[in-house]
Structure 1
Amino acid sequence: MQSQLSFSPQQTTGTLYLVPTPIGNLGDMTYRSVETLKEVDVIAAEDTRNTQKLLNHFEIETPQISFHEHNTQERIPQLVARLTAGESVAQVSDAGMPSISDPGHELVVACIAAEIPVVPLPGANAALTALIASGVSPQPFYFFGFLDRKPKLQRETLAKLVNRPESLIFYEAPHRLAKTLTGLVDGLGGSRQASLCRELTKRHEEFIRGSLDELLAWAKSSDQVRGEFVIIVSGNANPGVDEEAPDFSQLTIEEHVDQLIDQGQKTNEAIKNVAHLRQLKKQEVYQIYHHIEKN
């Protein structure tokens, strides 16, 4: 057990400040965040070039040091040593809250182990900003972030999420939106109510609300699939019951494969998924779809 008093007058070490940065609109930077970035000894930034633009805008002259997923093991001992020596460090990601789908957590854990105070500042966060305007129930919610890009791991994840009653929050890049929505339709069911939230806090901020089927159709036909997306999906109203499992009983195997191809999957991926959903061997589905007679 450990107790932290964030602002103790007897403190001998520096402090790690977790400073959120705007997710689009620079006006969302808080006074406290600006003051903190000016007062600390160094800023640990995910991308120093990106953060420098923010520092220039607010006339902040504090030096930076890079801290990202590829140099974590090297940087953490350096930063902990500086904090132990009495320097204060502000950690920032490119946008939003540090540690939320961004670097930061390992540094926090290391500071806690070294009994260095960790002080979080409130501020911009894409997930909650999207959630409260989505039209989907804001609580309880389950934040997931980015789904795995590998289809098999993504299906396994969604199989674990399908019965959760909480609203689900995902992040996705524009070039992968249609593919991810296809996975959500297959894994959670196309009738789930959801909201696509893009360009949050920016001039072209937009919310597209509807069923997952409708949102997938929009993503495949719209020329506005731009900017980073937050996907909010309603929870399962009947936990423990997979009420949205697609019914393929009326489809032939060929029709089933073609349906997945129409949703954006490649032929071999669709064949593999049909085999998984129907509990058949992939080779068997392949032969049926391509009209290959068994020897």
Structure 2
Amino acid sequence: MTAHDLRSQLASLTTEAFRPELADIDRLPTLDIARLMNAEDAGVPAAVAGQLPRISAAIDAVAARMTRGGRLIYAGAGTAGRLGVLDASECPPTFNTDPAQVVGLIAGGPEAMVTSVEGAEDSDELARADLDALKLTAEDSVVGVSASGRTPYAVGAVEHARAQGALTIGLACNEHSALAAAAEHGIEIVVGPELITGSTRLKAGTAQKLVLNMLSTITMIRLGKTYGNLMVDVRASNAKLRARSRRIVALATGAADPEIERALTESGGEVKTAILVLLADVDGPAAARLLEDSGGHLRAALARATG
């Protein structure tokens, strides 16, 4: 594609549109600019709401594959790639997932998290190589993320994954995008032109973050990683999370501190197991077996124990 072709293509994208009414924004008082940005951001949730049926269908498809051992893999460049890596990196401490279960791929590799890697986003070959390095299977789910919906790295990742039989999701912020068209599940969150022309880390980035929050969080709910709205699979890897673990057991059971400490000790610090120890009145090994037989779902394990 020539520079002229690319310029013409960008000019046609909603996310790249110029807003002449904001041409003097740099002359405004800081508070007025802040108010403008806040008003712009307020419209993002409504744009996401319009895509909720597509988002929920994608989540159900991801959860079904992850139940069978598949992985959730994000692929993007620049801000979109960083958001995917961020979401993936927060799953192990929040839901006690294996680090290989939710993976974020960014064009250019780890270096691209903090600096621009020249030309990486333009390479669909790089996307294929990154997915091949993960030994992609048909049980995996690949989410291509791109504000423009045309980024070769994201589109290439989705096309390659679909050819391998994996579930594919294309998350973009323009209508009729190549990314959504390439994926089995296309999600287009159209938030409109940015306050700063073409700066898609703003509204488009916020929209992508909201959708990624849903994809990972609701998938984990479907996988039994929560009990109600409690993070019962939280990994107690620091003092704050150890305190949170005790609080979660208390909220789920109403037990006193000495009982909570006993249950956590019996359970090797596993919150979900400790809750089952207290609610089902079983010992740690029995609770662990019940959870294993119930696919890790606390409610199902509790029903087995008490029913």
Instruction: Please confirm whether the aligned pair reaches a TM-score higher than 0.5, indicating the same fold.
Output: no
> What is the TM-score of this pair, normalised by structure 2?
0.26
Q: Which has the larger radius of gyration?
A: 1
Larger proportion of strand = 1
> What is the TM-score of this pair, normalised by structure 1?
0.26
